[in-house]
Amino acid sequence: MRRLHLSLLATASLLAACSGGSRSSPSTSARAAPLSSNGVNATLRVQSDWKSGYCADVTLENTSAAAVTSWTVVVDLHQSTVTNLWNGTYTTSGSQIAVKPAAGTGTIAAGGSLNAFGFCGNATGSTYLPELVSLVVVGGGGGGTSDFALSANPAGGTLPQGSSGSSTITISRSGYTGSVALTVSGVPAGVTATLDPATTTGTTSTLAVAVSSSAAPGTSTVTVTGTGGGITRAVQLALTVSGNGTSDFALSANPAGGTLPQGASGSSTISIDRSGYTGSVALTVSGAPAGVMATLDPATTTGTTSTLSVAVSSSAAPGTSTLTVTGTGGGITRTAQLALTVSGTQPPTDRVENPFAGASFYVDPQWAAKVRDAATRAGDLSAAVTRVASQPSAFWLDRIAAIDGTSTSLGLAGHLDEALKQQATKGAGPMVVAMIVYDLPDRDCAAFASNGELHTSQNGLARYKAEYIDRIVQVLQSKPAYQQLRIVAVVEPDSLPNIVTNTGLYSTCAAAAPTYREGVAYAVKQLATLSNVYLYLDIAHSAWLGWEHPDHAATVYNEVLTAAGGADLVRGFATNVANYSALQEPFNPYDNQNQYNDLIVNFFEWNRMIDEATYVNAMRARFPNHHFIIDTGRSGWPARAAGLPIENRTHRGNWCNVTGAGIGERPRADPVAGVDAYYWLKPPGESDGTSDSTQTTPDAEGKRYDPMCGANPVERPYATGELIATDALQGAPPAGHWFEEQFFMLVRNATPAL
């Protein structure tokens, strides 16, 4: 998980990075092998990359014996947009730009070279760096001939009777700059196909296809032919007309049912699978029992989905009903059914102010087993490691599959059953079970190490609600005995802090913000219906939401809690989750600013919240009716020489497997005013992210490499071109997996000592 902050230098640094003027960077990198045309080579190099944008330039080298009089370079921007471009003019087609020289700048002498043009771009996704696509030159003499080629995107597809579609025909030119006349053939009866433009000196034309309701179903090969300069080229497209002479549609629901407690709500996605029918479908729902309200949005649609929302009142009678969604359109009627079970109100319990007070704490047996196994290899640390095995820690539900677990991994019910056993062994008093709720769509939007399995663009929010949050609620309600346990749930680390600081810096965070808001509000609303669940929202740490951010954070958090149903639904907030900030920094450079100005500027970066204790006090002032948990699993830093902070890391934003850290305070209740507990929310020994730089594709758990976990220096946040060490211990596995070398380091550096 990425932890970033916004310093006072941010605005100036970003403006400098995008100004088109002088730029500095630790290195440049070619984005592809050079392209060649008529003896001219084109090379693109990225000169500066600050993660949310970049600057690059293109060089042309004429290796032929003839001068070049003009050129066109096509660049694919992928997930980025041009902010400024110099020494050239360009046109845009999809994600690509075609760049021509500015007036009077296109000539390249024989054997000469030219810094053809440069440009800067803003990232709109994770694959944002540009690449060369094609090069066309006028002149040169590399033995090439004038030519062009045609391609189609898409190169075919299926269209139902009565519908239409299009394909982009691209003309890739190699020396030929004249007109290309385009024609289309092979179109079956009942289908019309047109090209616009039909004659062009450009590089694209649009093929529009319209299928009448009487067109016969089947597959045809449509050919687009281009002619010009004595050259004839063609491209073929496979067109399938669907339908068997009739139009139809079908309905389905996901999920096709579920359990909702009295006073709760849920949703299901109704999908309309169309087979030729393109008209409106009117949707209605029936079968809802008394006390249950079911609505469809939209109720009439020409699209393919609608959301069924179900709200259960506190007076609804427990039981199972069948809801029927009916769709009508074009003389067709289709239905989908859902099984709705209304469960009774939870048995009454004595809700306490601080769930940790007077309770024993659950020890995760699987984590403890890893610790005991490590003790056999710990050498002189063996005794200390063995003592760690008896300490409590939270477990993470970081994907849907983690809720139900596997034959080798405890799910939520498995942990609760183990907690009941431990409770019985300790005398049946109250027991705290701490868990981390962590599976928002597009999570960890400012980093790569743990982006997760769900994505908003792939129905992720609906799945998060129905398959993740609702499933957690179902498991917590599944046995009356679970009501004896005090469930502490820390909700979605990093999500709302990213809204506070990063929506203006990362397009991924700006896009994810509405999902984060709605998802967190839904999680709070649903989990708060359970009387033995105590909720704490993640609220980052001192090195992230320090400076002036607490006031903005309070605004964002209050907005989300209002959407959930009120701030009183949560017990409070969790800080330093999975991070390394010192609990109490004994050295305060602000006591002598003249002597320690360098530390104030370069390490604390004018952030007066120098530790978690200071930060929590600042947040308590904004949330006086709430309480806090501080993650101390990795907040222990051995003492250093006078005049140095105990946090011995290069930058307080470094967050991945940080070298030199140690286990901090042991879990305990009521350590200081306003703090419910110190607790190990991130179990010591679980990795923050892989150090394997080749793992750039997300694995089955949605985890991959982030440069902050690598061995190479990275740019200091918001200071383009300035390199800092990551402090990341190498040899690390993916996030959440056991990292024994890191664990031994944390034990050795434990403060206070084990």
Mean pLDDT of the region 440-462: 88
CA distances from 225 to 169, 172, 191, 381 (A): 10, 14, 18, 76
Which of the residue ranges 218-232, 481-495, 509-523, 644-658 would you say has the lowest mean pLDDT? 218-232
Mean pLDDT of the region 250-262: 84
Higher-confidence residue of 25 and 469: namely 469
**CATH code assigned to 248-343:** 2.60.40.10
Mean pLDDT of the region 206-227: 87
Which of the residue ranges 5-19, 646-660, 669-683 would you say has the lowest mean pLDDT? 5-19
Is residue 724 within 8 A of residue 650, CB to CB? The reply is: yes
pLDDT for the residue numbered 350: 61
pLDDT for the residue numbered 98: 86
State which amino acid sits at residue 690: T
pLDDT for the residue numbered 341: 87
CATH 3.20.20.40 segments of the chain = 360-400+428-690+733-748
163 has pLDDT over 80 = yes
CA dihedral 541, 546, 551, 557 (to 10 degrees): -20
Could you please report the per-residue DSSP string of 527-591? HTTSTTEEEEEE---TTTS-TTHHHHHHHHHHHHHHHHT-GGGS-EEEESTT----SS-S--GGG
Class of domain 147-242: mainly beta
C-alpha to C-alpha distance for 124 and 356, rounded to whole angstroms = 44
pLDDT digits (tens, 9 = 90+) for 324-367: 999 998 778 999 998 898 876 444 346 899 999 999 999 999 99
CATH 2.60.40.290 segments of the chain = 10-139
Is residue 527 within 8 A of residue 263, CB to CB? The reply is: no
238 has pLDDT over 90 = no
Mean pLDDT of the region 237-262: 79
Indicate the pLDDT class of residue 630, thresholds 50, 70 and 90.
very high
Identify the helix (H) or strand (E) that includes residue 101: strand 96-101
Count helices and strands in the chain by DSSP H and E runs: 13, 39
Q: Find, among 164, 165, 167, 163, the residue nearest to 155 by Cα.
A: 167
Indicate the pLDDT class of residue 214, thresholds 50, 70 and 90.
confident
pTM, rounded to two decimals: 0.59
C-alpha to C-alpha distance for 304 and 250, rounded to whole angstroms = 10
C-alpha to C-alpha distance for 360 and 426, rounded to whole angstroms = 8
Sign of CA dihedral 555, 557, 563, 566: negative
pLDDT for the residue numbered 435: 98
Catalytic residues: 494, 688
Architecture of the domain defined by 360-400+428-690+733-748? Alpha-Beta Barrel (3.20)
| Mean pLDDT (the chain, rounded) | 87
pLDDT for the residue numbered 31: 46
pLDDT digits (tens, 9 = 90+) for 55-93: 889 998 888 778 888 888 888 898 889 988 888 898 887
pLDDT digits (tens, 9 = 90+) for 4-61: 333 322 222 222 233 333 323 333 444 444 677 777 888 989 887 878 888 889 998 8
Is residue 737 within 8 A of residue 683, CB to CB? The reply is: no
Indicate the pLDDT class of residue 105, thresholds 50, 70 and 90.
confident
Quick one: tokens of 122? 């803003």
pLDDT for the residue numbered 14: 26
Is residue 60 within 8 A of residue 106, CB to CB? The reply is: no
Q: Which residue has the tokens 């907690």?
A: 419
544 has pLDDT over 70 = yes
Q: pLDDT above 90 covers what percent of the chain?
A: 57
Which of the residue ranges 6-20, 485-499, 589-603, 619-633 would you say has the lowest mean pLDDT? 6-20
427 has pLDDT over 90 = no
Indicate the pLDDT class of residue 2, thresholds 50, 70 and 90.
very low
C-alpha to C-alpha distance for 665 and 581, rounded to whole angstroms = 12
Indicate the pLDDT class of residue 639, thresholds 50, 70 and 90.
very high
CA distances from 689 to 2, 305, 580, 650, 735 (A): 10, 37, 15, 18, 4
CATH 2.60.40.10 segments of the chain = 147-242, 248-343
C-alpha to C-alpha distance for 270 and 305, rounded to whole angstroms = 6
pLDDT digits (tens, 9 = 90+) for 261-279: 777 778 899 999 888 788 8
**Could you confirm whether domain 10-139 is CATH 2.60.40.290?**
yes
Indicate the pLDDT class of residue 219, thresholds 50, 70 and 90.
confident
- List all residues 6 or more positions away from 346 whose beta carbon is below 8 Å from its beta carbon: 261, 477, 483, 529, 530, 531, 532
635 has pLDDT over 90 = yes
How would you class 673 by CB atoms within 10 Å of its CB: exposed for 0-12, middle for 13-18, buried for 19 or more? exposed
pLDDT for the residue numbered 718: 65
